[in-house]
Structure 1
Amino acid sequence: MISNIAEKKLNILHLITRLVVGGAQDNTLLTVKNHHRTFYHVCLASNPDGVWLDRAKDYSDRFYPLSSLVNPISPLKDWKAFWDIVSILKKEKIDLVHTHSSKAGILGRLAANYCKIPVVHTIHGFPFHDFMPSWQRQFYITLEKAIAQKTDFFITVCELNRKEALELEIVREDNSQTIYSGIDFDKLDETFDSQSLRQELNIASETKIITMVGRLDQQKAPYYLITAFAKVVEKCPDTALLLVGEGELEESLKNQVKQLNIEEKVKFLGSRNDVPAILNITDIFALSSLWEGLGRAMTEAMLMGKPVVVPNIYGIPETVHHNETGLLFEAKDTDKLADNLIFLLNNPQECDRVGKNAKELTRKLFDGKEMVKRIEAIYQKVLETKGISQIKQSFK
C-alpha cells in the first residue's frame, strides 16, 4: 500500500522492442497500466508494428512509436533508435527508465546511461540458450555482462533466471530480485460463451481440446507437439489441437500436419485477442518449448484451472510440480509428451485435480497489482540510492 503525497510525479519510460503477443509484452503492458498515477507519469516506447499497439496507447500516458527499433542487428537503425530514445528521455524529462527484452534493453540502457538516468532492466528471458553454437552463446553472455555495468537494478521473472545470471556474473545479489510476472485476473474471470466459440471454430461440444499459445518459432518448437499429437489421436481420436500464434514456422508446420494426415484435427488460429476465451474451452494446455523463462500463456492456463503438460526446462518447474500442478516431460521427448496427454484425456478426475492444484498455487503468486507494487518499491530504492527525492512514499 502506498501512502503520503508525492511532491511531484516521477516520469517513467518503459521501453520494449515489439508489441507482438508474448509474455514480456503482456508483463510490460500490465505494469504500465497499473502504475500508481498519483506518483507516476508513464510513457511507453516500442516499435509500433504489433497487434497490441492499441493496448500500448490505451495504457500509457504517452506512447512513442519507434520504427527504428527492430529485432535483428541493424547498425543504421540501431544508431537511429539510440538517438530516438535519447530524444524521448530529454523531451519527457524522464526520471527512470525501465527496459524490457534484449534489443530494447541494450539500446535503452545505453541511452539512459548517456543521459545519466537510472535504469531498471527486466530479464524476461536470455538472448542466449543451450541450443545455439557455443561461440554465439558466449558472445551474447559477454554482451550482457558488458551492458550490465550500465544497469542499476535487475528484475527476473523466475528465480532460475536470477540464479543463472548470478553464476554468469551478469547480476549481483544486491542489485537483482525475482518478481513473478503478474497477470490481470479480471480478464481470466469473465463469463465466456463457450458454445459460440466452439461453433466459430467448428469444434463439437464433446471434442476434447489441447491448446498451445505461443510464437510458431524454434524456441517454442511446436513441431514436437504436433508429432506427439499425431500419437494422441491414435488413442483419443475425438481430440483437437489449437495452435494460437504466428511465426516463421507456420508453413512448415502446416506441411507437417498434412504429411501426418491430421489436418482435420489441427487448427492454426493465428494471433488472437480472445486467448482467455480459448483457454476456457481448453481441456489441456501443452507446450513443447526448448527454452522458456516461466511461460506466461502456461501460467494463464494454470490460473484458469487447466492442467498443463510442459517440458521440464528453465523456470517452468518453479510452478509446475510433476503430478501435482501439471505433468512434465524432458524436452524433445515426444513419446512422453504424448503419454502425458493421453493419460489426462483418459482420466478426467486427474485432469480436474491437477487443474485445481495449479489454480490454487498460481493465484497466490501472480497477482498483477502486487507485481506492480513490488516493481515500484524497486524504483524507489534505486532513486533513493541516486539521491533523487522528488517522490516521498512508503510501501507496505
Structure 2
Amino acid sequence: MRILHIVGDSKFGGASVLILRLAQKAKEFGWHVDVLTTDATFKKVLRESDIGVIDLDVIWRDINPLKDLWGLYNLYNFLKNSNYTIVHTHTSKGGFVGRLAAYLAKVPIIIHTVHGFAFHEQSFWLEIKIFSFLEKLASHWCDRIVTVSEFHKKWALELGIGDEEKVIAIPNGITEERVIPKRQKSEIQKELNLEGKKVILFTGRLAPQKGLEYLLKAVPILVSKVNNSFVILVVGDGPLRDYLEELVRNLRIEQYVKFLGFRSDIGDLLNISDIVVLPSLWEGLSIALLEAMAAEKPIITTTIGSNLEVVKDGESALLVPPKNSQELAYAIIKLIENPDLAERLARRAKERYKKYYTEDSMLEKYMNLYFFLYNINRNGKLKIKKS
C-alpha cells in the first residue's frame, strides 16, 4: 500500500503532528508513506523521521482562481503518474484541491480529515453557506470524511456534507510521553525567572482563532484582584505575534507576560505551570487542550463545540464564553483561590484523556479505516475507481 498525505503550504501545527504519527504508524505495517508539504519546519520533521517528502508547490492558503487551476492541473498530473493506493487530504484548501485532483487521477481510495472547516462558530451565515456548499461538492470526490470531533460530524451532517456512511468521527489523540518533563522543575523556573510566581500557560499558534488577545486583556483585571506574583507564558509563534507584543506594551503589562516563541519542551513547561488557559474562538479539536489534560493540569477554556465535548460540558475544566476577558480573569482568580477545585478538575481531565483521547485509540481507528477501504477496493465490492 502506498499512501500520500496532502497538506500544501499550511504551517506546522497540531494537525502536522497527527499526520506525522499517522505516517509513522502506517510505516510500521510496511506501507510506503509520503507527505506533500512545502512548510520548512514540517519537511524537516518528516525527514528526521524518515518519512517521504513531496515538495510540490501546488496548494496555497490564499484563493487565486487561475493559480489554483494551475496547481490543480499539476497535482493531477503528479497523481496520474504515481501509483498511490490512498490519498489522504488535510486542511480546507488541501482537501478541496487534493480531493479533486485525486478523483480526476482515479486514485483508488480518497480520504479527507476535517481538522476544522473553513467556516467555524464565529463565521457569518453567508460564509457558512458558501464554504459548506464547497464542502458538499468536495464530499463527492472522496470515500470517507473524517472529523476530529463528534461535534463537527454532527455539524457536517446537519449541513448536508456527506451522509452517515461517509462521515465518521475519529477524535484526535496524543501520547502521554509527549508531556513527560525532561528537566527538573526548579531548573526551568530558574531559567525563566519564575521562582515564587503562579504560572499561567498558553500554548498555540499566535493566530486569530486562538483568542490570545482576550487573555492578555484580562491581565489588568487580574492585577487589580490578586497579588503581583503571577506570569503568563505565551508559547508559540504566528502572524499575530507583533500585534500581541504591541498590545502587551499598550496595556503596560510587560512584567506579567513572557513570549517564549516556538518551544519543543512542552512537557517541561506544562510541569511548571499552575493553570493552562486556552481562550480559543474556534477549533477542530485542540491538541493543546489534550496536552494539558494528559499532563493533569487545571484548565480554563471556552464554550466552543469541540471543547464542550472534550471536557464534558465543564466537568473537567472551567468554561467561559469566547471573547470575554472579564470571565477569563474571574475563572483564573477562582482557580488560584480554590486549589481543591483546581486539583479536582485536573484529575478529571486526566481521566477523560486516558479514556477517550489517547494516541493509540486514534491511530487504531485510522489504520482500521485504511484496511477496511483497501480490502473493499481489492475485493471489487466498492467501485472506487472513477471513470
Scaled by the length of structure 1, the TM-score of the pair is 0.89
Q: Which residue of 1 aligns with 2:179?
A: 188
Match of 2:128 among 134, 137, 147: 137
Tell me if the contact between 1:97 and 1:112 (Cα under 8 Å) persists in the aligned partners.
yes
CA deviation profile, 1:245-296 (whole Å, cap 9, x unmatched): 2223222222221222210110112222222221221111112221112211
Question: Following the alignment from structure 2 to structure 1, what is the Cα–Cα distance between the partners of residues 191 and 340?
Answer: 28
Match of 1:266 among 257, 260, 266: 257
Match of 1:82 among 59, 72, 78: 72
Map 1:1-396 → 2, pairs under 5 A: 10-18=1-9, 20-49=11-40, 51-59=41-49, 61-117=51-107, 118-204=109-195, 206-236=196-226, 237-321=228-312, 324-387=315-378
Q: Which amino acid in structure 2 is aligned with residue 357 of structure 1?
A: R
CA deviation profile, 1:57-95 (whole Å, cap 9, x unmatched): 233531112334321113354334334433543454100
Q: Which residue of 2 aligns with 1:392?
A: none
368 and 230 in structure 1: CA distance in 2 versus 1, 3 angstrom threshold: same
Question: Following the alignment from structure 1 to structure 2, what is the Cα–Cα distance between the partners of residues 52 and 185?
Answer: 22
233 and 323 in structure 1: CA distance in 2 versus 1, 3 angstrom threshold: farther
90 and 133 in structure 1: CA distance in 2 versus 1, 3 angstrom threshold: same
Question: Following the alignment from structure 1 to structure 2, what is the Cα–Cα distance between the partners of residues 307 and 251?
Answer: 29
Question: Following the alignment from structure 1 to structure 2, what is the Cα–Cα distance between the partners of residues 227 and 141?
Answer: 33
Tell me if the contact between 1:99 and 1:122 (Cα under 8 Å) persists in the aligned partners.
yes
Question: Following the alignment from structure 2 to structure 1, what is the Cα–Cα distance between the partners of residues 171 and 13?
Answer: 15
Q: Which amino acid in structure 2 is aligned with residue 59 of structure 1?
A: S
Tell me if the contact between 1:18 and 1:25 (Cα under 8 Å) persists in the aligned partners.
no
CA deviation profile, 1:42-68 (whole Å, cap 9, x unmatched): 11111233x333222233531112334
Question: Following the alignment from structure 1 to structure 2, what is the Cα–Cα distance between the partners of residues 319 and 232?
Answer: 27
Tell me if the contact between 1:289 and 1:311 (Cα under 8 Å) persists in the aligned partners.
yes
Q: Which amino acid in structure 2 is aligned with residue 191 of structure 1?
A: K
Q: Which amino acid in structure 2 is aligned with residue 122 of structure 1?
A: T
322 and 136 in structure 1: CA distance in 2 versus 1, 3 angstrom threshold: closer
Tell me if the contact between 1:35 and 1:372 (Cα under 8 Å) persists in the aligned partners.
no
SS in 1 for 2:242: helix
Q: Which residue of 2 aligns with 1:7?
A: none
Return the offset for 1:17: 2.8
98 and 54 in structure 1: CA distance in 2 versus 1, 3 angstrom threshold: same
Question: Following the alignment from structure 1 to structure 2, what is the Cα–Cα distance between the partners of residues 18 and 200?
Answer: 35
Q: Which residue of 2 aligns with 1:6?
A: none
Tell me if the contact between 1:15 and 1:108 (Cα under 8 Å) persists in the aligned partners.
yes
Tell me if the contact between 2:317 and 2:346 (Cα under 8 Å) persists in the aligned partners.
yes
Tell me if the contact between 2:180 and 2:268 (Cα under 8 Å) persists in the aligned partners.
no
Q: In the comparison of the two structures, how many residue pairs are matched?
A: 378
CA deviation profile, 1:288-316 (whole Å, cap 9, x unmatched): 22111221111111110011100111211
Structure 1 runs (4+) greater than 4 angstroms displaced: none
Scaled by the length of structure 2, the TM-score of the pair is 0.91
Question: Following the alignment from structure 2 to structure 1, what is the Cα–Cα distance between the partners of residues 116 and 355?
Answer: 22
SS in 2 for 1:306: coil
**5+ residue gaps in structure 1?**
1-9, 390-396
81 and 58 in structure 1: CA distance in 2 versus 1, 3 angstrom threshold: farther
336 and 23 in structure 1: CA distance in 2 versus 1, 3 angstrom threshold: same
Percent identity between the two aligned chains: 33
Tell me if the contact between 2:46 and 2:52 (Cα under 8 Å) persists in the aligned partners.
no
Q: Which amino acid in structure 1 is aligned with residue 26 of structure 2?
A: H
Tell me if the contact between 1:11 and 1:92 (Cα under 8 Å) persists in the aligned partners.
no
Question: Following the alignment from structure 1 to structure 2, what is the Cα–Cα distance between the partners of residues 71 and 19?
Answer: 7
SS in 2 for 1:162: helix
76 and 323 in structure 1: CA distance in 2 versus 1, 3 angstrom threshold: closer
184 and 18 in structure 1: CA distance in 2 versus 1, 3 angstrom threshold: farther
Q: Which amino acid in structure 1 is aligned with residue 198 of structure 2?
A: K
Return the offset for 1:36: 4.7
